Amino acid sequence: MTYDEALDFIHTRRHGGPDLGRMRRVLDELGAPDRRVPYVHVAGTNGKGSVCAFTEAMLRAAGFKTGLFTSPFVTRFNERIRVNGMDIPDEDLAALTERVKAVLERLEADPAEFELVTILGLTYFAQENCDIAVLEVGMGGARDATNCIENSEVSVFTAIGLDHTKYLGDTPEAIASVKAGIVKPRGRAVAYSDPGGAIARACRERGAELRVMDFSDLKVTSRGLEGQVFDYGDLRGLRIPLAGTYQPKNAALAVETVRVLRERGWRIGEDDMRAGLRDTRWGGRFETVLRKPVFIIDGGHNPPAVEATAASLRAFFPGRRFIFLTGVMADKDVGGILDTLVPLSERFICVAPPAPRALPAGEYAALIRQRGGAAEPAGTVPEAVDRALRYAGEDGVVCALGSLYILEDARRAALAAAERDGLVKNAH
């Protein structure tokens, strides 16, 4: 099987919820790889990827061989499955997919796409003899494909808000109840917050210990587009290279996660924590691509995330209005997203993300105009980038957001424009 054949096999699987019993049969046929690696299991609405990245980087800095499983990808599919910070190589993905495909045919099993990718990730981490893997939940919790694991060192909950309400519930408490399904009996849990006490209830029912964050111990001392410095409790001068105003809280949650791991016997020193935070790389999260004009790409794709992005824009560029290059999925709370963005906007350039659930660019632009915003559709992301840069001139600010699926095309197009037109790229 070639790499392209592997991707085709993966991407032609159906979408839908997992069958954890089916996953167990497949994993057992593969030698139960999931039982050979301990995990940090991360659920939530927003910030999951960043918390995973911070946590993995600190573990790697401490000398552990790490796995990292996240979704979706920004640049290439391979970045969803990483070992020691490196994407799974094309040839390894092809060989592993061929092996798993043979097992599926033998068992006459037909997993959904995310179910299959989870099986691939868990198998690869065991194959590579990872000491520990950081595992990002897909959408829910109890019924998520990643919840087939039993060997969880700590369950982590990032910020929880309204997203995927059709499947998870229409209140933060209801959504938290579903996500709390990853808590293991007599396990440990760390939570950014606990809407309605749902996570605490789940922990009591399973005899698990819960630690809810106290962000009054966090103080940002320096902030710029190149990164931030903050104090958290007795840890002073922690540095992160991510600029979003929401990232210090994500980093603090990762620090608390590592503290729980230390209590469970993992040897991770303060210097390891500092080095891991300092060296974390996580693209597409309030990432500055160009400096003149400023061109930012951000993964905000639901109302809470977009509000966090807007808070960062207001903090760095007070009083400014922005050109938004944006595309969204039709099943998102588009009205909630626009409630935040329209008041900050100078103009919108709308695109359709390359996904079946995408809202057509023309329909998106019409919705924005109905709300009093200036908006126009573009046929492609590169076309939208060129238009946005023309509108921005030398001193404007462009922010691409709404879907992770448009970010890599936006980054590449902005860098190509910089080479062509002599724009100032970000040095970071």
Give the DSSP per-residue string, 53-111: HHHHHHHHHTT--EEEE-SS-SS-GGGGEEETTEEPPHHHHHHHHHHHHHHHHHHT---
Series of mean pLDDT values for 10-residue runs along the chain (428 residues)? 96 86 96 97 92 98 98 90 98 98 95 96 98 92 90 95 57 87 96 93 96 96 95 97 94 98 97 98 91 92 90 95 95 92 97 91 97 97 96 95 92 93 74
Query: Is residue 48 a contact partner of residue 40, using CB atoms and an 8 Å limit?
Result: no
Q: What is the largest CA-CA distance in the chain?
A: 62
What single-letter DSSP state applies at residue 339? H
**β pairing state of 81-83 and 39-43:** unpaired
Q: How far is 44 from 55, CA to CA, in rounded Å?
A: 15
CATH number of 3-279: 3.40.1190.10
Q: Provide the residue count of the chain.
A: 428
Parts of the chain belonging to CATH 3.40.1190.10: 3-279
| pTM > 0.85 | yes
pLDDT at 56: 98
Burial of 427 (0-12, 13-18, 19+ CB in 10 A): exposed
DSSP 285: S
Give the per-residue pLDDT at 163.
56
In this structure, whether the domain defined by 287-421 belongs to CATH 3.90.190.20 is answered with: yes
What is the spatial distance between Cα 55 and Cα 49, in angstroms, rounded to a whole number? Answer: 10
Number of Cα atoms under 13 Å in the Cβ half of residue 250:
32
Q: Where in the sequence of the chain do the CATH 3.90.190.20 domains occur?
A: 287-421
| pLDDT at residue 180, as a whole number | 93
CB-based contact 66:56 (threshold 8 Å): yes
End-to-end CA distance of the chain: 38
